[in-house]
Structure 1
Amino acid sequence: MSDQDITTAPNTSRLTATELDTYRKALKGEELDPANPVLLDLIGRGMLLPNTHDIGTYVPTPYTYVESQLTAAVQRVLAHATEALAGIPAHVRELEAEQQRYNYCPSPVGTLLLPSVPDVNAETIRTIQTAEFEILTAQPGYRKPKVLKGALPRDLEAAKRGVAVRTLYRTSGRMNATQREWVGTMTQAGAQVRTLNEDFLRLIIVDRKHAFFEVYDEDGTVQQAAAWYTQDRAVCAALAAHFRLQWERADVWVPEANDWVPEQRDGEEPHRERQTLTTKTQRNILRGIVAGKNHKAIGKGLGVSERTVTAQVGKLRSALGFETVMQLTHWWATSPERLLQ
């Protein structure tokens, strides 16, 4: 049912001063101009009728009749509107089925599937070029030199025009020469880069109102060529909050200043983890201390007791020959082990 099929509701508004004046003249039996638009409107609304016994005059319709006619007319409109309202779900489901059949999402403010690399590139480039104040990027995987070099002019332009660019890489990215070159150029332009030695979501968030994120299959695998694009502010805010959590736990990357590439010993496989002074638990404890957490909060986050955290800190201090936690945190800030998981 279309809107043309729904009957228009009658005019049930009160009479204006001009209409009331014309209505009163009719009650007095005065002769009225048959071409008067006010008169014609009153006749059309069923309030006046031509007087067949006295041409040129008009008689009022009984008010009880007017009431019943208007009420009936409005009820007919409501019945048609109710019928139309009841038909909306079936109509929408039909459209939804057709859109799902072709994997199409028409809403520009909802979530749109970008099924291929060209689609993802085109939309991310367009969005980044319109960035006003912030670009947050999390890249957990290996980025090919061709991709990095192609993205550099776009990213550099955004940083140079004052957009705050923050990028998060995996720690292994520090061993990628092209990536180090990208980071060096971007940080000189004012961008900030950090690395994290653990898994995190691949994200691009622009101005907290545009977000691109990975497409997961039902079995949890990631579709490498596809991405979701959303302008849903709640989703963008949630993803930005996730990015902030990872960012706060990551290590600053300024090439040449604190870069670290492990050396390879004779007969050793490339990048194999060597013997360390710290255990994984101790490294997580140290990260918690640097983040300003007390031993109780650190233990809660790691699933151990406060006493265990204190014991581990003491054990590490003894192993390193330090007397204070301050000495320990200073060592940690400059140690390559902070880049380990």
Structure 2
Amino acid sequence: MSERSSEPGVAYPVPPTAAAVSVLRPLREQLDEHRRAERSLRAAFSQFDAVYNEARRQEEPPFTLLLGGTAITNTLEAAVDDCREELLTAQPGGGRPVEHLVDALDRDMRLLSRGTRQRTIYQHTVRAHPPTLAYIEQVVAAGAEVCTLAEVFERVIICDREVAFIPVSDDRGAAALEVRHPAVVRFLTQTFERDWARAIAVDEQSAAHKPSAVISDTQRTILQAIVSGETDESIARRLGMSRRSVAVHVRKVSEQLGSRSRGQLGYLIATSGVLDGHVE
């Protein structure tokens, strides 16, 4: 680098560091300005973070894992007690234990007495379970709506379409998931509504007997399961009935179709057209 002298056409060399200071000074000033702007923006956004985090702390979490029977029962009871518009319940597994029915009856009567709509889906097998039938008769008389299906996908309880409870494992008493995410609750509600639309109503007149549609629906589900290769045990578990009851249905169909083995029975069911009608 050189520095021009006062004499025309004459220049004198200067140290490069001196020239660098002159060239770099404007860049440093710009960097300092950007750093000041960065610090100012960070300070502003940190204030926004504080407001955002405080708002999130006040929100209820979209998913809460409930561990143990006490936590599940207490949380569920509080949600049901707060339910004002509608309670939707799907209860797979056949007849319910008497002690559970006693607790449920007291809770449901309180719910119905304040005008909350209650709809429940059970499996067809509850129609052969006297304690559950007695409970159904009482809640239906009080205004509840109850339907049955051959197969219910999974247990779910939905309160006012705002919060839902689902099990997280086969051991339903060990853990449950409280769901408040609107999209997930909406999905669970739509699944319930699809099941409800194809279920068979239980009213005060039909509670004491099984309509033919229920018998046919149960038989059809068992036959389809046989064609799929399921065992009596897995069918019984899925339909909420005893293994012995499933075996009775299987034996009856085997006799009608002249089957000599389980494999042959599945083939005959699939090819005979029996699923197009119903089995008596």
CA RMSD of aligned residues (A): 4.0
Q: Return closer, same or farther for 1:124/1:223 CA change in 2, 3 Å cut-off.
A: closer
- Larger Cα Rg: Structure 1 or Structure 2? 1
Q: Return closer, same or farther for 1:177/1:234 CA change in 2, 3 Å cut-off.
A: same
In structure 2, distance between residues paired with 1:258 and 1:181: 8
Runs (5+) with no aligned partner, structure 1: 1-68, 87-104, 263-268, 280-303, 317-331
Contact map agreement 2:121 2:148 (CA 8 A) in 1? yes
1:224 to partner: Cα distance: 3.9
Q: Return closer, same or farther for 1:257/1:157 CA change in 2, 3 Å cut-off.
A: same
Give 2:72's aligned residue: 120
What is the SS of the residue equivalent to 2:70?
A: helix
Amino acid at match of 1:108: E
The one of 24, 36, 39 equivalent to 1:76 is 36
The one of 207, 227, 232 equivalent to 2:176 is 227
What is the SS of the residue equivalent to 1:165?
A: strand
- Report the TM-score when normalising by structure 2: 0.58
1:109-148 aligned within 5 A: 109-141=61-93, 142-148=95-101
Runs (5+) with no aligned partner, structure 2: 1-28, 47-56, 216-243, 257-269
Give yes or no for the alignment of 1:197 onto 2:150: yes
In structure 1, distance between residues paired with 2:77 and 2:135: 17
In structure 1, distance between residues paired with 2:204 and 2:68: 33
Give yes or no for the alignment of 1:248 onto 2:248: no
1:152 to partner: Cα distance: 0.8
Count of residue pairs the alignment pairs up: 194
Q: Percent identity?
A: 27
In structure 2, distance between residues paired with 1:191 and 1:119: 27
In structure 2, distance between residues paired with 1:249 and 1:176: 22
- Report the TM-score when normalising by structure 1: 0.48
Give 2:126's aligned residue: 173
In structure 2, distance between residues paired with 1:215 and 1:224: 10
Contact map agreement 2:136 2:207 (CA 8 A) in 1? no
In structure 2, distance between residues paired with 1:144 and 1:164: 24
What is the SS of the residue equivalent to 1:179?
A: helix
Amino acid at match of 1:204: I
In structure 1, distance between residues paired with 2:84 and 2:101: 22
What is the SS of the residue equivalent to 2:174?
A: strand
In structure 2, distance between residues paired with 1:258 and 1:150: 21
Q: Return closer, same or farther for 1:175/1:189 CA change in 2, 3 Å cut-off.
A: same
Give 2:206's aligned residue: 257
Q: Return closer, same or farther for 1:150/1:312 CA change in 2, 3 Å cut-off.
A: closer
Amino acid at match of 1:162: G
In structure 1, distance between residues paired with 2:107 and 2:74: 12
Give 2:137's aligned residue: 184
1:158 to partner: Cα distance: 0.8
In structure 1, distance between residues paired with 2:33 and 2:141: 74
1:183 to partner: Cα distance: 0.4
